[in-house]
Each structure stands twice: as C-alpha cells, then as structure tokens.
Amino acid sequence: MLAHFYQGQQALLLKTGCSNPTSNELLFFFFGSVEDLLIHDLYVLVALAEQQSNSERLKQGITQVLSIIDGQHQPWLNGMDLLEDAQQNKHLLSTGCERIDFLLQGGLREGHLTELVGPSSSGKTQVCLQVASNVAKEYSGSVVFFDTGNSFSPKRIEQILGQLSDHSDIESNKILEQVMSNIVCHPVFDIFTLLDVLHQLESKLRSQVYGGSKVRLLIVDSISSLITPILGGSSAQGHALMIAAGFLLKELAHRHNLSAVVTNHMVGGEGGTLKPALGESWRSMPHVRLHLFRDSKSSICNMSILRHPYIVSAFAHMIL
Amino acid sequence: MTVLDTPLKPNINCQNSFHVGAQTAWEMLREEDMLTRITTSCADLDNILGGGISCKEVTEIGGVPGIGKTQLGYVFAILGFCINLELLLLLRGNKNYRIQLAVNVQIPAHYGGLGGKAIYIDTEGSFMVERAMQIAEACVKDMLEYDGLLRKDSQARQLKMQPKELLGNIFYFRICSYTEQIAMINFLEKFVSEHKDVKVVIIDSITLHFRQDFDDMALRTRVLSGMALKLMKLAKTFSLAVVLLNQVTTKYSEGSFHLSLALGDSWSHACTNRVILYWNGNERCAYIDKSPSLPSASAPYSVTAKGIRSLASNSKRLKMMQALD
C-alpha cells in the first residue's frame, strides 16, 4: 500500500502544481512516509504549512493527500447491511457428507475460515478432498487447493466423484473432466510462495480477470507445515507471517464470498494430551475449528466443534 | 517419458495457472497414469501399495530394528529403474495384480533404459556392500529368467547387465551428524538437478541424529519441519520417490505403552504415505498407516537371500507362468 500511495502522492503533487522542487522537498521533509503523515496532529501540520512561503499550495496538498487516504479504507457498514450481505452473498456449501453437514447446520459458510485440526491420519486430507469434490460438482464452483505435502490425490477425487454421481458411463467421463478441471492444485512448499499466490489470486479476483467458474473454496493442506519451520526462535517474523496469512485468508473469504479451509496438526501439551499446533495466537484466527480424531485403527472418524460463531459444541461420527 | 523429464512445466492450458506448477485435477489424473512406481519386489506389498512406491511422494517406512527396513532400502536402490511394462498387458485378466518389474529389455542401444539411479543417504552406517551385491545378483538372475520367459518366441536377447552396473547406479552418502544431514538435504536439490536420472532417494534413517543431544526441542521441531518441506519439494519438482526409514520409540498413552514412530507428533505429518513394519507372530507384516489414496491394509513379506520376497516365495513365478500360457 505504501508504494501505491507514493505513486498517488507523486501524481497528486504534479496535479496541484507543486512540482517545484522546494515544496516537494518540504512535503517529503515533513513526512518521510505515510505513517508519519498520519501520526502528525492535523493542526500542527497546518500551522507548519502556514509558516512556509507557498503555504496555500502546501495546505491544498495536505488536504488532497488526506482525502486519498480516506478513500483507502472500507466503507462503514451497519448491522442491516451486514445481515443483508450474509443472507444474500454468504451461502452454505455442503461438504458432501451428511453427518458433517448436520453438525455444521448446513455446511461450510462462505466468508468463514474453517480449521480442521487432528492428529496424523485422522482424515483431514480426506475431508478436504471430499469437500473439494462436492463443491466442484454441486455448485460448479472453482476450487483452489494448496498442497504442501504432496497428498492431493486425483485418483481419490475420481473415486469420490464416482460415488456421488449416478450418470451413465458415456456422460460421466465428460462430466468428470469438467468437474475435475475446476479443481486446481498448487504445490507450495514455503510460506512466502503461499502469500505470493494468495496475493495474485486476490488481485485477479478484484480485477475480475479470473476466468472460468467462480472460486468458491480455498483449501490449504496443511498450513501448519508451512508455518512450523519459521515459528519461534529469536525473531518474531514467523509469528507475523502466520498472522498475515490468517488475515489474508479471512479477507479473501469475506470480500470474495468464498470459504477457506486450513488443516493443522497437533502437538503434545500438558499431561500428554494433544493440543493444536501453532500456538495461542492462531487459536483465535479461524472462525470455525473442527477437531478430528480416529479411534485407533478403525475407520470411524469423529469430528467435534471446538469453536464456532453460533453453534454450541457438538459431536459427529462418520466413516470416511 | 517427457512428463518425468521436465519438472513443473508451466501450464499454458490452464486458465488459472498464474503460479508455475499449478495443475487441474484432471491433468494430474491423466499424468498419474504415466507415472512409474517402484516395486518392492514382493507382490503382496506391491498390491497394498497400489503397485509400489510412487514417485512425487515422500514415503516413510518405520519399524522395530531387525524387521527389514534397510533391506527395503537396498531393494529400492537397486530396482530404482523400473518401468511400466508389457507384463501389465500380460496380466490383463487380473486387475488387482499390478507388478512392475525392473525388466529392461527394450533396445540394446538404450541399454539401461530409463537409467534411473538412486541416492542412498546412510546415517547409521548400516549399508553393507556385500548384501547389496547379493541382492543385485539375484535381481539380475530374475531379470534374465523373465527375459527368457517374455521373449521365448523371438530370438532371446542377451541381457548384458552386470550386478556391478546396478551397484554403480547408487550414489552413496554417509552422514555423521545432524548438521551434515541438514547440509546434505540442502545440497540434494543441486545434485539432483545435475543428475536428472535419479529416481529415488533413500534416507536411512532420518531420525537417528535428531534423537539425542538436542537441547532445544523447539529448534528441533523447526529444523525437522523445514527438512520435511524441502524433501517434499524435491519429490514434487523432480518427480522422484523419497523413502524415509524411521526408528520406533515407546509411547505411553491411555495407560499402556505402545510403539510409535520416533520424532513425535510434529514429524508425523512430514510424509505423504506411511508404512509400518511389524511382527505378527513369526511373520513380518507391513501396514499402511497413512495414505491419501490407498485404503488401510496389511500384507506379509519375508526377507530372503534375494532381498524382499512374498511369503509364498514361488507365487510370483507361478502366476507369471500361468499368465503366459
């Protein structure tokens, strides 16, 4: 945003005719960065400007810069606007598994960041593949799958789609191709690539260049394997990147009406019990947290809600 | 086999590929048919693995000492150059039975075929060249036999492969500390890009140097997960199979002790597939613990002088001969 703003600032200065070196230098002398400008008391600024020779131009410059800054933030919304947005734009996406839909009272909600947390081989990737297949099929929506562990299995998707459909053989191959072409898998192996691709996706969605069907679902499997190598240690950069990724996913979900799903693993906590990885700051990041666990070596998976905006904790059992 | 030669070609067909390497599920499905799998030379094991260890994935194999992890390592190193074959067509009747053998009898000029090489990273010092030689010799003998069976109509082609050549296809690295291990894995990418014919990387064992002398557990977690990501990237970028052999440790939970793989919960998500080897009475068995596309199953196997074989050791040969009749 800083670079974007600087461009705007330059253009602004040229437009108001403040192109003579003196006032440029002065403006840049006063505020080396946008933050400085914003932090300064407005009256002090104006008083400083009064003292300069071309005070009128400087004051004009300041007002125009401030109006550009005002244009950057989101418009104010009241409760009715939010409710309308939620009812019209934020639909529920069925996961394809009745029990999970029942547990979540309909399915995954667009605009929410859902986290699947569970020990190894508890079914997290399977749920992700199931939801991806169902959304691509039922809603003809595009699914973006970020795969960090090479566990995206097209064969499994084919199996799942085969179970869901009852068409004849000839049609089903064409439909299969159509549905599977809507699921895009991106292999990512570090957090910077993930952030980069998410930013690109955001700019594509914003400028509506994204061809094909509407993106409805975004899956990151698993985000914890991207963050664990950088979290902790002497610098706080890993922590900042984790929070940045979380916010970016939530913003994408809200602004472009898609549902974001991430998976997380578990680590040992006190007394030998398992707790979700990524620590306390991540705990409040997802809107919905679902805990999966499997009874040892059986095929029954259990899912429980750890956190949800409006559903009280509940359980579900299913076979994956 | 251009799919394997060009790693991560930019996808011009896909509208949404603003990221190099992005592919739709449909394209990946088409490609998967062409991907090769590395056989374990034991039919039952291959069955539960869906044909063998798949390239582009990281497979972790863990078990108690003496169960045959290193033997599997030898087998993968020597059979690292398997290809899909005519045998698939021969065994057309039986869809469940997909053997892929290292029978490399295409054209004498392309002797060595895909020329898949192997990288063997040894942290324990348990690689014995004599044993590898034994397995290589048995492998060559088997190939000659199957070669004879396949080509019994046309003139028998002489398979001029020597066990020494098979051993010559293995790059061996010995690691003595965890810093060397980290350095090695960082170096692997450069090494594999120079030797494009490497098809399998075996690390035996991945956990040894991280189990002791590590004071800072948080550092260990960071280093291990970084290592896991690098191996995943290597497997995906160069389409090779990465096999990690792991040790076991005892875990106390729910009032009892049981065995689980070393390095804790944070390492458990570092592999795509996990196979656990265990004793079932007097038999050795393998169990698929984690896989995105394979159902949980277990199969017995045995360790013989020739390497790893099915329990009923003549079953593979019998089925081959039945199919040819």
Q: Do A184 and B24 touch (CB under 8 A)?
A: yes
Separation of alpha carbons A158 and A177, rounded Å:
10
Residue among B16, B29, B292 minimizing CB distance to A151: B292
Q: Do B14 and A184 touch (CB under 8 A)?
A: yes
Assigned domain for B113 exists: yes
Distance from CA of A72 to the nearest CA of B (A): 27
For residues A149 and B272, the answer to whether their CB atoms sit within 8 Å is yes
Does A185 reach chain B within 8 Å, measured CB to CB? Answer: yes
Distance from CA of A285 to the nearest CA of B (A): 21
B251 → chain A, closest CA residue: A272
For residues B19 and A186, the answer to whether their CB atoms sit within 8 Å is yes
Given this model, what pLDDT does residue A191 score? 92
Q: Do B18 and A222 touch (CB under 8 A)?
A: no
Of A238 and B153, the structure prediction assigns the larger pLDDT to A238
Using a CB-CB cut-off of 8 Å, the residues of chain A touching B14 are 184
Distance from CA of A176 to the nearest CA of B (A): 8
Per-10-residue mean pLDDT of chain B, 325 residues long, equals 41 48 85 75 80 84 83 75 36 30 25 60 86 78 64 49 74 89 91 86 83 81 90 90 84 67 77 87 86 86 78 52 48
Does A295 reach chain B within 8 Å, measured CB to CB? Answer: no
Q: Do B253 and A272 touch (CB under 8 A)?
A: yes
Q: Which of A117, A120, A263 to mutate to test the interface with B (most CBs of B within 10 A)?
A: A120
What average pLDDT does the structure give for chain A? 80
Separation of alpha carbons A50 and A6, rounded Å:
24
Radius of gyration of chain B measured on its C-alpha atoms = 20
Q: What's the whole-number mean pLDDT along residues A203-224?
A: 83
Residue among B26, B252, B290 minimizing CB distance to A181: B26
Given this model, what pLDDT does residue A194 score? 93
Assigned domain for B183 exists: yes
Does A224 reach chain B within 8 Å, measured CB to CB? Answer: yes
Given this model, what pLDDT does residue A267 score? 85
When mean pLDDT is compared across A230-234, A250-254, A315-319, B16-20, the lowest value belongs to B16-20
Distance from CA of B148 to the nearest CA of A (A): 35
Q: Which of B9, B13, B19, B273 to mutate to test the interface with A (most CBs of A within 10 A)?
A: B19
Q: Which of B9, B16, B240 to mutate to test the interface with A (most CBs of A within 10 A)?
A: B16
Residue among B28, B268, B296 minimizing CB distance to A154: B28
For residue B105, the one-letter residue type is V
**Residue owning tokens 């029954």:** A300
- DSSP designation for B169: T
For residue B55, the one-letter residue type is C
**Residue owning tokens 């396949």:** B150
Q: Do B22 and A119 touch (CB under 8 A)?
A: no
Does A258 reach chain B within 8 Å, measured CB to CB? Answer: no
Distance from CA of B236 to the nearest CA of A (A): 7
Residues 102 through 141 of chain A touching chain B, CB cutoff 8 Å: 119-121, 125-126, 129
Using a CB-CB cut-off of 8 Å, the residues of chain B touching A151 are 272, 292
**Residue owning tokens 């699921």:** A183
CATH of the domain at B189: 3.40.50.300
Distance from CA of A208 to the nearest CA of B (A): 12
Q: Do B236 and A272 touch (CB under 8 A)?
A: no
% of chain A exceeding 70 in pLDDT:
82
- pLDDT per position as a tens digit, A123-176: 889 999 999 999 998 888 899 999 998 889 888 888 888 887 666 666 778 888
For the sheet containing B241-246, what is the strand order? Answer: B170-174, B117-122, B198-204, B241-246, B58-63, B273-280, B283-290, B298-304, B307-309
Using a CB-CB cut-off of 8 Å, the residues of chain A touching B253 are 272
A195 → chain B, closest CA residue: B19
Using a CB-CB cut-off of 8 Å, the residues of chain A touching B56 are 150
Query: Containing H/E element for B231?
Result: helix B217-238
Given this model, what pLDDT does residue B290 score? 85
Assigned domain for B4 exists: no
Distance from CA of B256 to the nearest CA of A (A): 13
Residue among B24, B225, B272 minimizing CB distance to A150: B272
Q: Give me the DSSP letters along chain A.
A: -HHHHHHHHHHHHHHTTTTSHHHHHHHHHH-SSHHHHHHS-HHHHHHHHHHSTTHHHHHHHHHHHHHHHHHHSPPP--HHHHHHHHHHT-PEEP-S-HHHHHHTTTSEETT-EEEEE-STTSSHHHHHHHHHHHHHHHS--EEEEEESSS---HHHHHHHHHHH----HHHHHHHHHHHHTTEEEEE--SHHHHHHHHHHHHHHHHTT---SSPEEEEEEETHHHHHTTTSSSS-SHHHHHHHHHHHHHHHHHHHTT-EEEEEE-EEE-GGG-EEETTHHHHHTSSSEEEEEEE-TT-SEEEEEEEE-SS----EEEEE-
A226 → chain B, closest CA residue: B229
Quote the Cα angle for B108-B109-B112, to 5°.
Answer: 75
Q: Do A181 and B58 touch (CB under 8 A)?
A: no
Separation of alpha carbons A19 and A15, rounded Å:
8
Given this model, what pLDDT does residue B106 score? 23
Assigned domain for B3 exists: no
Assigned domain for B61 exists: yes
Given this model, what pLDDT does residue A205 score? 87
- pLDDT per position as a tens digit, A245-291: 999 999 999 988 999 999 998 887 777 778 888 888 899 999 999 99
Give the residue among B105, B101, B115, B80 at the shortest CA–CA distance from B159.
B105
A179 → chain B, closest CA residue: B26
Distance from CA of A52 to the nearest CA of B (A): 50
Given this model, what pLDDT does residue B159 score? 52
For B123, the domain range is 31-324
Q: Do B296 and A297 touch (CB under 8 A)?
A: yes
Using a CB-CB cut-off of 8 Å, the residues of chain A touching B265 are 119-120, 265-268, 274
A225 → chain B, closest CA residue: B225
Q: Do A158 and B230 touch (CB under 8 A)?
A: no
Question: pLDDT class for A99, splitting at 50, 70, 90?
Answer: confident
Q: Do B265 and A267 touch (CB under 8 A)?
A: yes
Assigned domain for B228 exists: yes
Using a CB-CB cut-off of 8 Å, the residues of chain B touching A274 are 265
Domain count along chain B: 1
Q: Give me the DSSP letters along B183-202.
A: HHHHHHHHHHHHSTTEEEEE
Residue A165 burial by CB count (10 A; 0-12/13-18/19+): exposed, middle or buried? Answer: middle
Query: Containing H/E element for B3?
Result: helix B2-5
Of B298 and A26, the structure prediction assigns the larger pLDDT to B298
pTM, entire model = 0.79
